Amino acid sequence: MRYRRLDLNLLVALDALLSECSVSRAAERLCLGQSATSSALGRLREHFNDPLLVQVGRRLEPTALGLELLPKVRAALALTREIVDAPLNFDPAQCNRHITLVASDYVADVLFSAVSRALAHIAPGVRLSLRDMPLPRDGDVVSEALDYRRSDCVIVPRQRVNPAYSQMPLMTDQLCCIVCAQHPQFAEGLSLADYCAAEHVVREFADGRNLAMDAVHLHELGIERRAAVTVESFVLMPEFIVGTARIATVFQRQAQRFAQRFPLRIHPAPLAFPQAEQVLQWHPYQEHDPAMQWFRGLLLEQAALLDQPGT
């Protein structure tokens, strides 16, 4: 490649020649023949209109221009190496990036407090914006998040994955039920008859459509719950369970977190709900972005830690 009539590859030769002050040693350093290295020196002399290296006795010495150019060439090549090697040398501690991620409040509650703490220690310059799942204009929450909302990545249940976007399995969970620990009803367990007869707290989206996995599965089985309270956030559910005989169907990981803060009892669901898998998706153009590659690895690492005892 030429810049202002200079073949930029000659800068590497210039660095070797001025550093070694010897055509033969420069040729060894460049892995070139001595004639090719001499030819490079000739073209450099022609471009700069200066001999650059002159014979002094039995050795070559740089001219005044050569001495002036050497530190500048070294700095230019060092910067070039830094640019070329950036994907290999990504340092999260030096990263200043604003990352926007779309996920349900369940994922945010279970996973992202740990992710935020990790970022504070490992990559304090990274700013994280969490957005709730959008209402898709065309039924596709992934394209809504990544294309219309310009988010960096989105976490969705497996059944809502868009195969046009890059993806990676992130975490799995199982549905269970929570009831008030202070209420005598359901103290010994929860049968399917109890489940069907009780009042429920359910999660609905803003437009009134309950798209949660438990609602879809119950609809397929022909089971209709008595919804006493509907909320737009999973984290609000315990507030409407405590002090009542109501039931909420939530994910096991979140139920355990709720039970640390509220007087709740966790029961296995009285019917077999399918296992829920959360999938991370991102736009293909970010596939090789070193910052996003590192961030996706951090998400996977923190999700794996959820399975460790005491986490």
> Quick one: pLDDT at residue 2?
57
Are 149 and 287 members of one domain?
Answer: yes
If one compares 148 and 175, the residue with the highest pLDDT of the two is 175
Q: How far apart are the first and last CA of the chain?
A: 54
Q: Which residues contact 52 (CB under 8 A, 6 or more apart)?
A: 14, 17, 18, 41, 44, 45, 62, 63, 65, 66, 69
> Quick one: pLDDT at residue 206?
57
Distance CA 161, CA 145 (A): 12
Please spell the DSSP secondary structure of 5-61, one letter per residue: TEETTHHHHHHHHHHH--HHHHHHHHT--HHHHHHHHHHHHHHHTS-SEEEETTEEE
> Quick one: pLDDT at residue 83?
65
* Number of Cβ within a 10 Å radius of residue 71: 10
DSSP run (H or E) holding 301: helix 290-305
Are 163 and 294 members of one domain?
Answer: yes
* Number of Cβ within a 10 Å radius of residue 239: 13
If one compares 137 and 247, the residue with the highest pLDDT of the two is 247
Of all residues in the chain, the percent with pLDDT exceeding 70 is 92
Distance CA 164, CA 144 (A): 13
Please check the confidence at residue 103 and state whether its pLDDT lies above 70: yes
Give mean pLDDT, residues 185-201: 92
Entry field: residues in the chain? 311
Q: What's the structural domain count of the chain?
A: 3
Would you state the structure tokens that stand for residue 214, as one six-digit string? 């438990």
Residue whose token pair is 């022609």: 46
Q: Which of 85, 108, 134 is the last residue of a domain?
A: 85
Average pLDDT, the chain: 87
Give mean pLDDT, residues 103-113: 92
Are 186 and 255 members of one domain?
Answer: yes
- Where does 123-235 have alpha helices with state H? 141-143, 192-197, 213-221
Are 140 and 204 members of one domain?
Answer: no
Please check the confidence at residue 209 and state whether its pLDDT lies above 60: no
Are 76 and 216 members of one domain?
Answer: no
Tell me, what CATH number does 36's domain have?
1.10.10.10
Are 208 and 158 members of one domain?
Answer: no
Are 140 and 116 members of one domain?
Answer: yes
Are 180 and 167 members of one domain?
Answer: no
Please check the confidence at residue 210 and state whether its pLDDT lies above 60: no
Please check the confidence at residue 29 and state whether its pLDDT lies above 70: yes
Range of the domain at 155: 92-172+276-307
Tell me, what CATH number does 197's domain have?
3.40.190.10
* Number of Cβ within a 10 Å radius of residue 46: 10
Are 130 and 255 members of one domain?
Answer: no
Per-residue pLDDT band for 212 (boundaries 50, 70, 90) equals confident
Q: Which of 23, 55, 85 is the last residue of a domain?
A: 85
pLDDT for 127-165, tens place per residue? Answer: 999 998 877 777 788 988 888 878 999 999 998 899 999
Please check the confidence at residue 261 and state whether its pLDDT lies above 90: yes
Give mean pLDDT, residues 15-43: 87
> By three-state DSSP, how is residue 251 classified?
strand
Are 204 and 234 members of one domain?
Answer: yes
Are 186 and 256 members of one domain?
Answer: yes
pTM higher than 0.85? no
Give mean pLDDT, residues 91-100: 91
Please check the confidence at residue 11 and state whether its pLDDT lies above 90: no
Q: Which of 24, 58, 85 is the last residue of a domain?
A: 85
Are 188 and 237 members of one domain?
Answer: yes
Q: Which residues of 1-15 are buried (b: 16+ CB within 10 A; e: fewer)?
A: eeeeeeeeebbebbb
If one compares 57 and 225, the residue with the highest pLDDT of the two is 225
Rg (CA), the chain: 31
